[in-house]
Amino acid sequence: MAAAPLLPTHRRYVNGVPVPQRQTLRMSEKFMVLLIVAAFLFVLVGAMFFLPEFREKVVGPGEPGDIFRPQPPASPPVGGLKFHQHDFDPVENVARDVVDPGKSRGKQELEIEQEKVLQEARQVLNKFQDDDVKNDIKQDKAKLQQQREEEEKRKQEEQNKELLEVNRVDTGAVGVSGGEPTDHDTKMRRDKIKEMMKFAWDNYVQYAWGQNELKPISRRGHSASIFGNSAMGATIVDGLDTLYVMGLMDEYKKGRDWIATNLKMEATADISVFEVTIRFLGGLLAAFAMTGDQMFKDKAVLIADKLLPAFNTPTGIPWALINTKRGNGRNWGWASGGSSLLAEYGTLHLEFAYLTELTGNSVYLDKVKRVREVISELDKPDGLYPIYINPKTGKWGQNHASLGAMGDSFYEYLLKSWIMSGKVDNNARRMYDQAMTAIDKMMVQKSASGLTYVGDYKNKRVEKKMDHLSCFSGGMFMLGVEGAPEELKDRYKELGTEITHTCHESYIRSATKLGPEAFRFEGNVEAMSIRQNEKYYILRPEVIESYFYMWRFTKDPKYRDWGWDAAQALEKYCRTPGGFTGIRDVYNANPAQDDVQQSFFLAETLKYLYLLFSEDTLLPLDFWVFNTEAHPLPIKTSIGAKDSHANDRR
């Protein structure tokens, strides 16, 4: 073993890294050394050749005064005492033989010149010393900053590498791929929908990657107020499971990696609890259920935890908006009396219940169960659920019920909560059937020509208008036939068929063959808009959603034909070189476009079209239930049933 050194060794470290010893001088240091040597030589030469004492002084006999300063003269005696003058200058008063006055002046001038040269040298030296020190400090700071940045980059790369590594668990997912139709025409239609999806996605990637949505005409990002004007990649999260189902795996991988490394939900503005739940939480949970990728579950927990403070109200009814940074909530300013909205606080159950099942943390399910308990105990005017409720008092707002905007998905989630529970959540089923009975009695109407529609109920009167959003109910009624009381089954089938037909009429009565945001039944006008602010179409899925359910349950080919007509209309009027856009007037054969590719176009509209032209083995309804954003969540079923289904597919 080598002996230890007798003296301690010392090293300098910068950010934990030893700094090597310099072997040579810097260029600036070499210059300073040369400058000092030159100045020294200049002074030396000047002293040798120019000082007069050294060249011409004659050494000879002298007097003491030649060596010592003469005694200053005394002042006149005062009181017998003599005083010497202290301001006496012997140079001015005594002429010295040894010193030549001319030579003295030359010496003084030389000394002044030498001092000037030395002063300039000092200034130059000091300047270079200051500049060198500053440069050294600047270089050291730059090195430290570079090392910090490299360290942070290295850590981020390591973290991203971990996130990009897929950690899968077996979720027992059934029917998440395949479903290719056997006949040529249907396959051609399905392939076209897949191409539309890829086109919409590719343009989003090119022009708005990481933004919430795409403006296909402007070719830049777009963000609605529901996202708090923060870029959270809504289209990526919303459209990811559609990419997976369609087998667009390269596109899926790109979206998956963005979510892993970028989705943090750090919006500083208020965001919609409802929209974030159905789009982000629903999309992540669906992606986890289909792929088993643990990252999706972790992200879902992250987002759900940021939404939980919205439930901190006296009743447990959540606020509509939450600031995830500060953790405080509020309701929409335009909502009646500061109320929460039925379709928002009542459309959280599927996602939060499934998250509790995945994590074992009951807090998520407890929150939404509390919401249901509060509203189930309230009296319902005419058996209906008003769309407004005060989250502080738990009292209904104005008497306004709707199966469209602000009410729709609450009823959908009552039925689907029962389905997702494995059909054991009987309270949800009871509430659903009671609500549908009241809606059928109070809100379902027939037009003069026999078209069935569902109008809004306001102050005991039915508005002769139906929202595009209400058109989802055709599929909902058909989905709810199984498990319904016997006396309601036929009526549910009838309502599903007739409402889907009415909504189809709203499409084919327009110049574009696309349906308006709302349509009326007044006088000779049926299933058409008469107000300009109701004539727009923003790529909504509800009509196509009902086509999908009606096809699955009836196998009537007209629903596939109707869906194909809608797809062709989308291609003709909504497709632009930069993506798909909504239109402002469905009754205009050359409509203006709104320049927004909605995230739900990828999540819902194209997914339902693709499933419409697929076999039932793709996302079978015995194993999956769709949230209101068309994100499939698994139904609680036995492993044996899943294995049996897998064997049937083989």
**Long-range pairs, 522-529, Cβ under 8 A, ≥24:** 522/464, 526/447, 526/448, 526/449, 526/451, 527/447, 527/451, 527/453, 527/502, 528/587, 529/586, 529/587
Rounded Cα distance between 259 and 246, Å, is 19
Q: HSE-up of 457 (CA within 13 Å, CB side)?
A: 24
Pairing of strands 452-454, 465-467: unpaired
| Cβ-Cβ contacts under 8 Å for 546 (sequence gap 6 or more) | 471, 472, 473, 474, 475, 478, 496, 499, 500, 503
Lookup: tokens for 227: 């996202």
User: Which is catalytic among the residues 270, 498, 505, 542?
Assistant: 542
Is 463 an active-site residue? no
CA atoms within a 13 Å half-sphere pointing along the CA-CB vector of 354: 35
- Residues 618/175, Cβ–Cβ less than 8 Å: yes
β-bridge pairing 518-522 and 465-467: antiparallel
Secondary structure letter of residue 458 according to DSSP: E
Backbone angles phi, psi at 2, to 5 degrees: -70, 145
What DSSP string describes 521-589?
Answer: EETTEEEE--SGGG--B----HHHHHHHHHHHHH--THHHHHHHHHHHHHHHHTEETTEE--BS-TT-S
**β-strands 400-401, 444-446 pairing:** unpaired
Annotated catalytic residue 498? no
Instruction: Name the DSSP class of 174.
Output: -
Q: 181: buried, middle or exposed (CB in 10 Å: 19+, 13-18, 0-12)?
A: middle
* φ/ψ of residue 443, rounded to 5: -120, -25
Residue 77, H or E segment: none
Q: How far apart are CA 245 and CA 239, in angstroms?
A: 10
Active-site annotation holder among 270, 408, 498, 595: 408
Active site residue 522: no
Alpha helices, H only, 292-337? 294-307
Q: What is the DSSP secondary structure assignment for residue 98, as one 8-state letter?
A: S
Which sign does the torsion angle of CA 128, 130, 134, 139 carry?
Answer: positive
Known binding residue 268? Answer is: no
Our answer to whether residue 377 is catalytic in this structure is: no
Q: Which residues pair with 159 in a beta bridge?
A: none
Quote the CA–CA distance of 271 and 230 in Å, as a whole number: 9
Q: Please check whether residue 576 is in contact with residue 593, taking contact to mean a CB–CB distance below 8 angstroms.
A: yes
Strand partners for 528: 520
Structure tokens at 465: 């208008």
**Rounded-to-integer distance, Cα 412 and Cα 432, Å:** 8
Apex 281 CA angle, 280 and 287, nearest 5? 90
Binding residues for Ca(2+): 628
Q: Point out the residues that are catalytic.
A: 275, 408, 517, 542
